Amino acid sequence: MPGFADIGAAVIGTGFIGTVHVEQLRRIGVDVRGVLGSTPDRGAARATALSVTRAYESLDEILADPAVQVVHVTSPNHLHVPQASAILAAGKHVVCEKPLAMTAAESRGLAEQAGASGLVNAVNFNIRFYPLHQHVRERVAAGDFGEVRFATGHYFQDWLLHDTDWNWRLEPDKGGALRAVGDIGSHWLDLMAFVTGQPIVSVMADLATFVTSRQQPTGPVETFSTERSANTVTRPMGTEDVATLLLRFASGARGSVAVSQISAGRKNSLQWEIDGSDAAAWWDSETPDHLWLGHRDRPNELLLRNPALMGDAGRAAAALPGGHVEGFGDTFGALFRAIYADVLEGRPRPNPPYADFAAGHDEMLVNDAVATSASEGRWVDVERTGVLTEMTR
Ligand SMILES: NC(=O)c1ccc[n+]([C@@H]2O[C@H](COP(=O)([O-])OP(=O)(O)OC[C@H]3O[C@@H](n4cnc5c(N)ncnc54)[C@H](O)[C@@H]3O)[C@@H](O)[C@H]2O)c1
């Protein structure tokens, strides 16, 4: 019987997250045929460092390689749509990093193309694949928490605190018009819609830019790098350092999330709480194997991730026994196992546990509503017309 080792993959982008893709594909046994960097030299250097046999010189070379059935897109955001679209057009399955596109107008066409292709298409919302997230979603759907009324939380980082911190994400033509929301808020928004099973239907957003100009190094910069360049030029900043969002879900539940990339000491802190009519749940990315369960009339509980104590969905995402903490990198392995199960079948299953392009487009619609709300200072409904999204089908 064919297995993951019979599937060939290629990875576009060899930076922070492209490296994680290569490592985690290998962990589940997929044959990583090669990588594509921003230049042939850089691609070749990274291929050597990662012990990957081939450094492709162009996307066309990947598309022409019959040994590659799946292509992962881990390039900066502005390249996602053209690259993913070309991959689908060449008849190959595609895994694309988040956010799916620069705008919902862009992601709409891509989601339609993916839906019509019959090929596996996935957006890398890996945070869904902490096993406790798969588990809690199942328990919410089973009614353990009663009616979910309130979903709150934050996503804070500090790596863009100083005006000397620089990355392509700060350039709207590469990262998009929304920055903190598009880059990290998108994970939280996708996750809460996934866990609650409820689409976000309306938003009220306040965005603020505190670091109004930054020093751009004249050479390239690695993501999360703390090195300072001596040669810089001053650039004005327009995209948000922080965002405060009020949310309404389709069920009538309310929510709020604070997003920041300038919170000193918070390296990568995502937290959420859902409060239902019967019980509550709370999770913190810094203790990812812990799920707090809140009760009114009996003692609270702390569920330590353990395949023996989770339902089918949580168990499927878990790779290690209880007590052996699974973290950020492991979520990619769990997500890829789910995606590649569909690749083996040659087509996507209905309602996959991973975000498909329809779900990625749905998240882009929420982002667009956030941008409109912030600029117009009012509540804005998420406009779901046309594409059948995960949340509306
Ligand atoms: N899911 C997650 O948790 C997560 C985490 C980090 C980044 N991301 C996403 O991954 C993407 C990349 O982010 P990153 O932090 O790895 O950035 P990065 O700057 O570290 O890496 C980007 C890579 O893309 C390459 N690249 C640039 N132009 C290219 C081109 N034309 N063709 C091929 N490669 C090209 C660069 O050389 C670099 O290797 C972004 O879309 C980001 O939002 C997702």
pLDDT digits (tens, 9 = 90+) for 148-190: 999 999 999 999 999 999 999 999 999 999 999 999 999 999 9
* Paired residues of 271 in beta bridges: 154, 284
In Å, what is the CA distance from 155 to each residue of 144, 199, 268, 280?
A: 26, 19, 7, 19
What is the rounded CA–CA span in Å between residue 360 and residue 368? 13
In this prediction, residue 230 has a pLDDT band, given cuts at 50, 70 and 90, of confident
Taking the centre of ligand 1 as the mean of its atom positions, its distance from the CA of residue 284, in whole angstroms, is 25
Which residues, in sequence order, are CB contacts of 146 under 8 Å at separation 6+? 276, 277, 278, 279
- Residue 186: other Cβ atoms inside 10 A: 26
Report CA dihedral (60, 65, 70, 76) to the nearest 10 degrees: -30
Q: Which residues line ligand 1 (CB under 6 A)?
A: 12-18, 36-38, 42, 74-77, 79, 97-98, 124, 126, 168, 183, 222-223
Quick one: which atom of ligand 1 is closest to the CA of 80? 41
Q: Please enumerate, as own/partner, the contacts of 327-333 that have beta carbons within 8 Å and a separation of 24 or more.
A: 327/288, 328/126, 328/268, 328/285, 328/288, 329/20, 329/23, 329/24, 331/126, 331/127, 331/128, 331/129, 331/130, 332/20, 332/21, 332/23, 332/24, 332/124, 332/126, 332/129, 333/24, 333/27, 333/28
Nearest protein Cα to ligand 1, atom 4 = 17
Q: For atom 27 of ligand 1, which residue has the closest CA?
A: 38
Per residue in 72-129, pLDDT tens?
999 999 999 999 999 999 999 999 999 999 999 999 999 999 999 999 999 999 999 9
Give, using CA atoms, the residue closest to atom 21 of ligand 1. Answer: 15
For 84, the 3-state DSSP assignment is: helix
**Residue 393: band (very low, low, confident or very high) from pLDDT cuts 50, 70, 90:** very low
Give the whole-angstrom CA distance, residue 256 versus residue 238. Answer: 23
- 115 C-alpha vs ligand 1 centroid, how far in Å? 25
Q: Cα of 239 to ligand 1 centre, how many Å?
A: 19
Does 224 score more than 90 pLDDT? no
The residue contributing the CA closest to ligand 1 atom 9 is 97
Q: Residue 9 pLDDT > 80, yes or no?
A: yes
**Per-residue pLDDT tens for 113-154?**
999 999 999 999 999 999 999 999 999 999 999 999 999 999
**Tokens in use for 209?**
């830019």
**Looking at ligand 1, which atom is closest to the CA of residue 99?**
43
* Parallel/antiparallel/unpaired status of strands 269-276 and 280-284: antiparallel
Biggest alpha carbon–alpha carbon distance for the chain: 63
Q: Which protein residue's CA is at the shortest distance from atom 26 of ligand 1?
A: 38
Output the six-digit token pair for 359.
């779900």
User: 137 vs 118, 197, 220, 287, CA distance in Å?
Assistant: 27, 8, 40, 18
Average confidence (pLDDT) over 356-368: 98
In the chain, pLDDT over 90 holds for what percent of residues? 94
The mean pLDDT of 318-338, rounded to a whole number, is 97
- Average of per-residue pLDDT values in the chain: 96
Contact (Cβ atoms closer than 8 angstroms) between residue 154 and residue 258:
yes
Kindly state the average pLDDT of the residues 38-52. 96
Query: Per-residue pLDDT tens for 332-344?
Result: 999 999 999 999 9
- Of residues 386 and 362, more confidence is placed in 362
- Smallest CA-to-CA distance from 110 within 350, 343, 357, 352 is with 357
Q: Per-residue pLDDT for 388 more than 60?
A: no
**Residue in the block written with tokens 């069920």:** 251
Choose which residue among 17, 166, 188 to substitute to test ligand 1 binding: the one with the highest number of ligand atoms within 8 A of its C-beta.
17
